[in-house]
Amino acid sequence: MSSLAVQKASSATGTQGTARRRPPLRGRIALVPTIALLLGAVYCLLPVAWVVIASTKSGSELFSTFTFLPGSGFTDNVHDLNAYRDGIYWRWMANSGLYAVLGALLSTAVSAFSGYALATYRFRGRESLFNVLLAGVLMPPIILAIPQYLLMAKADLTDSYWAVLLPQILSPYGVYLARIYAAAAVPSDVVEAGRMDGASEWRIFTRVALPMMVPGMVTVFLFQFVAIWNNFLLPYIMLSDDEKFPITLGLFTLLEQGANTPALYTLVITGAFLAVIPLVALFLVIQRFWSLDLLSGAVKS
């Protein structure tokens, strides 16, 4: 899913220059790249297909029938999932939605502010600040989870919604992307022109620069959304009350129920399948914003 975003983003920034290539030769398909892409697609889609098909199997069919033969238990599985502990699954889903939507929005806002500032203003320490951020990009968020927990504990914020939201608001990668994008998409001429016309810096940012940055910010939003939706370790360490769990954690508790209780495979698989749907829907809906950047150039040359 996120690889899609990268391709889209890179093609979005790179198209202007290379758009006028020779038209491809008709009637010839580049065989090797096509096969490679097809293999890649199969590699990505096979597990998804497995989840979709497995979610239709009832408990007794799951391990006994052919892997890719659809079963007859989908409605029962959804029904069981609904009934499990008074529908706590939907609560996890709502929690995931809250963490992902709010977290991604805040994170995108922070990224847009800082990326624009880093790209537009010249100030002492700008490069070193940016280098620190670059180092942050290289740091996997996983190793920060425990220090973040200890910090949150100091502030008495563990086991709260904030414990999961706050650490995800600052995304070094988001800031990095926003700076690169702002530098490319917001020409300094435009900012200068705004200043000449007497607009305040805030007005220039919100009215002039931000609309130009939208496609890049959509990418940042999607990245953060997917990262938060799929995040496991941070909420795992932070939360102990399962009413606040996101979907990843909830499904994990269904799987690890102790040795004397069978894992609820059908529930977990059905739950995993349903949890993918919002992500797919989000990508389908938001995809169109990416193509906007081709049309939204500000300075006509």
* Candidate ranges 18-26, 31-39, 192-200, 239-247; the one touching other proteins (CB under 8 A): 239-247
Does position 257 bind other proteins by CB under 8 A? Answer: yes
Q: Which of residues 275-294 bind other proteins (CB under 8 A)?
A: none
Does position 261 bind other proteins by CB under 8 A? Answer: yes
Q: Choose among 134, 169, 133, 167: nearest CA to 151.
A: 167
* Candidate ranges 90-98, 210-218, 232-240, 269-277; the one touching other proteins (CB under 8 A): 232-240
> Could you give the CA distance from residue 212 to residue 196 in angstroms, rounded to a whole number?
19
CA 193 to chain centroid: 35
Q: Which of residues 34-73 bind other proteins (CB under 8 A)?
A: 59-60, 62-64
> Could you give the CA distance from residue 92 to residue 97 in angstroms, rounded to a whole number?
9
45, 134, 146, 294: which one binds other proteins (CB under 8 A): 146
Helices (H), the chain: 2-18, 31-54, 59-62, 74-83, 88-120, 126-138, 145-154, 161-169, 172-185, 188-196, 201-203, 210-230, 233-238, 247-255, 265-291
160, 230, 253, 287: which one binds other proteins (CB under 8 A): 253
> Could you give the CA distance from residue 245 to residue 106 in angstroms, rounded to a whole number?
20
Q: Which of residues 148-167 bind other proteins (CB under 8 A)?
A: 149-150, 153-154, 158
**Closer of 137 and 157 to other proteins (Cβ):** 157
Does position 259 bind other proteins by CB under 8 A? Answer: yes
Structure tokens at 186: 């917001």
- Kindly list the residues in this chain that would bind other proteins in the complex (CB under 8 A): 59-60, 62-64, 146, 149-150, 153-154, 158, 236-237, 240-242, 249, 252-253, 255-263, 265
